[in-house]
Structure 1
Amino acid sequence: MKKTAAYALLTILAFSALTGCTDNTNTESVNEGGNQVTSETGTGNSGSTSDDNVLFFYTAQNKTYEDEANFDRLIGQFIKKKFPDITLKHVHWNDGTRYEDLIAKGTIPDIVFEETYRNAHRMIEKFDLEYDMSELIKKFNFDTSVLDQGSLERIKTASNGKIYALPFEQSDFVLVYNKDIFDKYGLDYPKDGMTYDQAYELTKKLTRQDGDITYKGYQQHPSHYMYYNQLSEAVLDPNEDKGDLDTDSWLKIVNNIRRFYEIPGNQFITTGDFPKGQMGMSVDVIENVLKWSQDYPDLNFDISSVPVFPEAPNNKYQANVNGLFITKQSKHKDLAFQVIQYLLSPEVQEARAKEGIISPLNDSKVQEAFAQNVPQLKDKHTAGIFALKSAMPAPRKPGLTFINPPVQQVFQPNIFEQSKDSATALRVVNEMINKQLAETKAAVEAGGDGTQYQ
């Protein structure tokens, strides 16, 4: 891995953030005053958070941070500069350094970098690490209004209405289009704010057989489209332990995307075939788009915002965000929060944005700095990433049972394989959700951790 290659971060962040799973494959510097500052590495059995000057930073997401040089370049250097008197200890999640390993060794981190929705339950709560940062936010006068509000609300939804984390890195979906195909057929390029109806009309024009080549007009993964839906519809009922898929609103959402795949020749395959040059448009995360531009240097493409619903013209997907947690066991909560607060400063976020990391700050200067150090995105319309706001998550009453709902099964297998009508597919998966919720609730009442469907 090239230590200075920003694309390495971007490529792997796409996998980590989208799956919401802790990845299982996954220094030294001198501060301005000339004092030596060390960053310990290892298996987690050296050092202790009981040491007054040691801050233990654990990265449970993004394989990029497995390389200590990348951690130092993208996170560590900023902490060392601002807090020269502390010893920064960093460990990345891997075999031998998973949550259970650290806990068994008595080396619980002060700060955990983790996916903030699914893994707030599946990892943070499971290992009894959750801590509400609300009082620290007040104590240090941190203005949460500077953050992407969709990201913050998604964290609150997963934190029983509390704030177990602050957003730190986002992975946003964009529409990428092949300019050569549009030029070939004399079609106008997509624009930010294009509606799904407009995208559908373009798809019909782009999907065609031209000699031996079959062009697909449009691909958008229906699972991601539903999971991060732009209309903020609830999958889990806001007030009860039951599913909420069996509704007219969800029927509209499903039929909206289903029609694209009923266009002859445009059946769903994968968004990842875009760089092969026979697909007009694809919706995917910007990190994958960057990888395509590396692997296919002759690909003539550009990007715009994802299509929108007319009733939500400013909404992109709900936030897909990794954040920074402070553990309840940390003896350095004040220091840990001050570190997080500094990492979320415009100064640090602008430097990270230049490396192609999507910031959670609502700061135009930070957004304009995005990917300035990433040559593959030079002259691309990266402003399309920030043209819309994150859709808000559906609210849910604290204390209800949580599962990671299997929305992907609406389309696969129920629609794509079994040709069910949309209402039936939704009803089948809703019944599955109800069953999983009931089993999870029973498991928790019996003393289990309730993570079998997370």
Structure 2
Amino acid sequence: MRQLAGGGLYGLPVYDLVMVTYYNKDIFDRFGVSYPKDGITWEETIELAKKLTRNEDGKQYLGLVVSPAHYIRLNQLSVGAMDPKTEKATLNNEQWKKLFDSVFKAQGNMPDYMKYVTDNKNKMPYKDEFLKTKTLAMFVYLSDLHTANQEVMDQMNWNMATAPVFKDMPKTGTQTYPFFWNIASNSKNKDASMEVLKYLTSDEYQLIVSKRGEMTSLKNADIRKEMGRDMNFNNINYNAVYANTPAASAPRHKFEQIAQKPVENIIAEVVTDKVDVNSALRRVDDDANKALDAEKKK
């Protein structure tokens, strides 16, 4: 908030999110594979995915999908797609190469996975494979998937673990994804609005937030322990949401998502070996700079 607002604090986070690994226990049970646990590394996750990516009885099962747009924004290395000071892309470097090699390229580096993406006209598997066809074993996604899709997931045999970590950063989770509430500068009821905002960030209201399965924006351990208490799901590992320390926020700028878009667009090509990682990073860096230049001219 301070980065985007020039140092000012113009809102408070009422809800928060991180990324976690949701997994379909039925697929793991079907193939006799152990469930992921909190603290699992990217390398270990990829090995599980290989055991679960298979075609059986005409149905294509996939081991792992990482939500690309969300992970690009919330990556554990805290790298952004552009330099806020120079307003130039910063995508062609070793940190982004590590992200591509360890996460995006690795998740799809399996023949069945590549074929699935190719057969679907370069459309990456996503939420439907987890919630509708139920052919996806692990889905690394924002920690509100179960609250936003409660009726569907109430019929699934699922659980969650921490998002995979880098082995040289074993306790670093993804960045957070806060939802800020603000008071409009032209509000005629600023004092009343502030009282509402105080309540929304109070222990009393945040306990309600936690009990209904959402991530509190507070550090209060007692409130965190109540997560999911009022939900129908049984024996869910809500500790996965808080187990790791969130990565520091990447540099923020109002054009950041413009610079990120070329990265999202090229992942399918990297997964299907249409372009190697080094070439992909050079291309997205150039595409991002062109998009930034065009935006600045508007």
TM-score normalised to structure 1 length: 0.58
Who is 1:157 aligned against? 3
Alignment pair present for 1:431 and 2:277: no
**Counterpart among 223, 227, 243 of residue 387 in structure 1:** 243
Contact (CA 8 Å) 1:401, 1:437: kept in 2 or not?
Answer: no
CA distance 1:408–1:402, shift in 2 (3 Å): closer
CA distance 1:304–1:390, shift in 2 (3 Å): same
CA distance 1:356–1:297, shift in 2 (3 Å): closer
Alignment-mate amino acid for residue 224 of structure 2:
Q
Alpha-carbon distance in structure 2 between the residues aligned to 1:197 and 1:271: 23
Alpha-carbon distance in structure 2 between the residues aligned to 1:200 and 1:418: 17
Alignment-mate amino acid for residue 96 of structure 2:
W
**Counterpart among 86, 93, 97 of residue 247 in structure 1:** 93
Contact (CA 8 Å) 2:109, 2:271: kept in 1 or not?
Answer: no
Who is 1:440 aligned against? 295
- Structure 2: give runs of 5+ residues left out of the alignment: 115-123
- Structure 1: give runs of 5+ residues left out of the alignment: 1-154, 444-454
CA distance 1:325–1:157, shift in 2 (3 Å): same
**Counterpart among 319, 336, 347 of residue 176 in structure 2:** 319
Q: Which SS does the other structure have where 1:405 is aligned?
A: helix
Alignment pair present for 1:422 and 2:268: no
Alignment-mate amino acid for residue 156 of structure 1:
R
Alpha-carbon distance in structure 1 between the residues aligned to 2:296 and 2:216: 36
Alignment-mate amino acid for residue 207 of structure 1:
T
Q: Which SS does the other structure have where 2:174 is aligned?
A: strand
Aligned length: 285
CA distance 1:251–1:355, shift in 2 (3 Å): same
Q: Which SS does the other structure have where 1:231 is aligned?
A: coil
Who is 1:212 aligned against? 58
Who is 1:261 aligned against? 108
Who is 1:175 aligned against? 21
Who is 1:405 aligned against? 258
Who is 1:128 aligned against? none
Alpha-carbon distance in structure 2 between the residues aligned to 1:394 and 1:298: 37
Alignment-mate amino acid for residue 402 of structure 1:
F
Alpha-carbon distance in structure 2 between the residues aligned to 1:287 and 1:247: 32
Q: CA deviation at 1:261?
A: 0.3
Root mean square deviation, CA, Å: 2.4
Q: CA deviation at 1:364?
A: 1.4
**Counterpart among 214, 218, 242 of residue 361 in structure 1:** 218
Alpha-carbon distance in structure 1 between the residues aligned to 2:84 and 2:171: 24
Alpha-carbon distance in structure 1 between the residues aligned to 2:149 and 2:61: 18
Runs of 4+ in 1 over 6 A off after TM superposition: none
Alpha-carbon distance in structure 2 between the residues aligned to 1:403 and 1:193: 29
Who is 1:134 aligned against? none
Q: Which SS does the other structure have where 1:299 is aligned?
A: coil
Structure ID, larger Rg: 1
- Aligned pairs for 1:195-344 (under 5 A) are 195-257=41-103, 258-267=105-114, 268-275=124-131, 276-290=133-147, 294-295=151-152, 297-344=154-201
Alignment-mate amino acid for residue 106 of structure 2:
R
Alpha-carbon distance in structure 1 between the residues aligned to 2:57 and 2:223: 46
CA distance 1:296–1:225, shift in 2 (3 Å): closer
Alpha-carbon distance in structure 2 between the residues aligned to 1:335 and 1:292: 33
Alignment-mate amino acid for residue 4 of structure 2:
A
TM-score normalised to structure 2 length: 0.85
Alpha-carbon distance in structure 2 between the residues aligned to 1:291 and 1:335: 30
Alpha-carbon distance in structure 2 between the residues aligned to 1:338 and 1:411: 40
Q: CA deviation at 1:302?
A: 1.0
Alignment-mate amino acid for residue 387 of structure 1:
A
CA distance 1:395–1:221, shift in 2 (3 Å): closer
Q: CA deviation at 1:253?
A: 0.6
Alpha-carbon distance in structure 1 between the residues aligned to 2:134 and 2:242: 26
Alpha-carbon distance in structure 2 between the residues aligned to 1:291 and 1:164: 27
Alpha-carbon distance in structure 1 between the residues aligned to 2:192 and 2:264: 47
CA distance 1:184–1:251, shift in 2 (3 Å): same
Alpha-carbon distance in structure 2 between the residues aligned to 1:344 and 1:293: 24
Contact (CA 8 Å) 1:315, 1:388: kept in 2 or not?
Answer: yes
Per chain length, whose mean CA-contact separation is higher, i.e. which structure has more relative contact order (CA < 8 Å, sep 6+)?
A: 2
Q: CA deviation at 1:236?
A: 1.3
Q: Which SS does the other structure have where 1:266 is aligned?
A: helix
Q: CA deviation at 1:357?
A: 2.8
Post-superposition CA distance 1:304-356 (Å, at most 9, x none): 11111123322322222211112233355444334322321111110222223
**Matched-pair identity in %:** 28
Q: Which SS does the other structure have where 2:55 is aligned?
A: strand
